[in-house]
Structure 1
Amino acid sequence: MRVLCLHGKGTSGRIFKSQTVSLRSKLEATTPNIEFDFVDGPLLSSPAPDTPLFYEPPHYAFYEGTDINAIRASHKWLQELLERDGPYDGVLTFSQGCALVSSYMLYQQWYEPEAQPYFQFAMFICGGIPITALKDLGVHVSQEVEDLDVMTKKQLLEKTTAEVTKDRWQLTDYASVVRRAQFDSDDCFGLNLNRIPAELKIRIPTVHVFGEKDPRLPASIQLAGLCDPYIRQVYNHGGGHEIPRAKEVSEELAQLLQWCAIRGSWPGQETTRHQ
């Protein structure tokens, strides 16, 4: 079993490999035939704000900014990688890696509805679909969604928590809103999931890992809402915009990734991957 691993903006495949040691070791203990392939993004980048100083350069990104041409160029890079180094059974992603893979899947489903997906399963950690890509695909994106996207990105750069996001809704039970927003909803943090066609819902088994203190939490939940709820798991690791490494959390994530991989190999699912 081969898993493609795509890092966040301003890090690298080497850093992502280091950040996932605990998760991978627990999964490899129960799935000895699994292989993780860590790849660097195609562009040099400044380090991410939360990248520890002991992670030396170079740092990479899959694209810069939010321009749709830059995002589509990253899709072309990913497709060439898959055609050259694939096939992969699944994909493990963090932050910008999530944005790249999820948007790539939606474009493939929209423009090539009969094509077979490149992955059987996916784990998304602290990441969402770029708003620019949703708009380019014809999804109605309200001004509220765009404003929230800008605000949470600013919070992330300033290393703040999701408290401002909570205050925006003036909620007494923020967790219940997060739960409701994961399903077909008129208000998934401002995004109307009921107005999005089925062709723009990811149809492979997925795991969505978010942190309740992550400013980008709404983006993670919106991505979960754009995936099939019957073959989807959602997990709150309790922290911020990070890859959790605590022993108990790593064990949970390993189990979730194993579930996702098993579900992706069920009869009917394994025939839907590019060979």
Structure 2
Amino acid sequence: MKILCLHGKGTSGRIFKSQTASLRSKLETVVPEFEFDFVDGPQPSSPAPDTPLFYEPPHYAFYEGTDIEAIRAGHKWLRGILEQNGPYDGVLMFSQGCALVSSYMLYQQWYEPNAPPPFQFAMFICGGIPITALKNLGVHVSKEVEDLDVRTKKQLLEKTTAEVTRDRWQLTDYASVVRRAQFDSDDCFGLNLNRIPAELKIRIPTVHVFGEKDPRLPASIQLAGFCDPYIRKVYNHGGGHEIPRAKDISEELAQLLQWCAIRGTWPGQDMIHH
């Protein structure tokens, strides 16, 4: 079973391989036939602000900036990887890797509705869909959502924890907001998920891993809202914008990825796409 592995902005395939070593070791003891393919993004990049000093360059990104041309160029690169190195059964991503794949899948579903999905299952870690891509696809994005997106990205660069960035979602109510926003709602951190057409809902089994202290937590929950709640699991690792490595959490993530892979390759899953 072949899994494409896509790193975060300002890191690399080599770094992502190191960051996921604990998760993969737990998984490979149960499912040894998993094969992980780590690739570097096409754009040289400065190191991510949370990249430890012992991770030496080079560092990469899948695209630079937030304009739609850059994102679509990233999609073109990803399509080339799929054609050259695929097919892949699943995809494992962190941060910008999540943004690349989630938006790629939405564009494919919208413009190529009869094409099979590029993956049978996906695990998203601390990532969301680019707001620019949602607007380009016709999703109504309020100024409140845009402002929240800009603010949380700034807080991430400044290494601010989500504990001090609650805004109108106050700390005392934050946990319930997160729980409610994981399902179709009129207010998933400002997005009305009930107005999203079916063509813009990801219909493969997914796992969404987020940290309650991650400033980008709203983006992770919004992405979960774009995925089918009946074949989706959501997991709070309790930390920030990071790939958790604690033994107990790695075991949980390995079980979730195993569930996702089994569900995604179940023969009846193909019927969902037709």
TM-score (norm 1): 0.97
CA distance in 2 between counterparts of 1:116 and 1:271 reads: 11
- The residue number in structure 2 matching 1:169 is 169
- The residue number in structure 2 matching 1:6 is 6
Q: Report how far residue 270 of structure 1 moved.
A: 5.3
Q: Determine whether 1:137 maps to 2:151.
A: no
CA distance in 2 between counterparts of 1:267 and 1:120 reads: 11
Deviation digits for residues 210-253 of structure 1 (CA, Å, limit 9, x no counterpart): 00000000000000000000000000000000000000000000
Deviation digits for residues 53-107 of structure 1 (CA, Å, limit 9, x no counterpart): 0000000000001000000000000001100100000000000000000000000
Q: Report how far residue 118 of structure 1 moved.
A: 1.0
Contact 1:117–1:272, Cα closer than 8 Å, also in 2:
no
Contact 1:206–1:232, Cα closer than 8 Å, also in 2:
yes
CA distance in 2 between counterparts of 1:210 and 1:230 reads: 19
Equivalent residues in 2 for 1:222-233, closer than 5 Å: 222-233=222-233
Bigger mean CA offset, 139-148 vs 164-173 = 164-173
Contact 1:142–1:190, Cα closer than 8 Å, also in 2:
yes
SS in 2 for 1:122: strand
CA distance in 2 between counterparts of 1:114 and 1:218 reads: 31
CA distance in 1 between counterparts of 2:263 and 2:30 reads: 16
- The residue number in structure 1 matching 2:193 is 193
Equivalent residues in 2 for 1:1-275, closer than 5 Å: 1-269=1-269
Q: Report how far residue 115 of structure 1 moved.
A: 0.6
CA distance in 2 between counterparts of 1:154 and 1:246 reads: 27
| Structure 1: gaps of 5 or more residues | none
CA distance in 2 between counterparts of 1:75 and 1:167 reads: 33
Where in structure 1 do 4 or more consecutive aligned residues deviate above 4 Å?
A: 270-273
Matched to 2:220, the amino acid is S
Deviation digits for residues 188-209 of structure 1 (CA, Å, limit 9, x no counterpart): 0000001110100000000000
CA distance in 1 between counterparts of 2:120 and 2:272 reads: 7
CA distance in 1 between counterparts of 2:213 and 2:259 reads: 26
Matched to 2:233, the amino acid is Q
Deviation digits for residues 240-272 of structure 1 (CA, Å, limit 9, x no counterpart): 000000000000000000000000011132588
Matched to 1:210, the amino acid is F
| Structure 2: gaps of 5 or more residues | none
Contact 1:122–1:207, Cα closer than 8 Å, also in 2:
yes
Percent of aligned pairs sharing the same letter: 88
Matched to 2:19, the amino acid is Q
Q: Report how far residue 35 of structure 1 moved.
A: 0.2
CA distance in 2 between counterparts of 1:240 and 1:112 reads: 36
SS in 2 for 1:173: helix
SS in 1 for 2:8: coil
SS in 1 for 2:63: coil
Matched to 1:144, the amino acid is E
Contact 2:181–2:187, Cα closer than 8 Å, also in 1:
yes
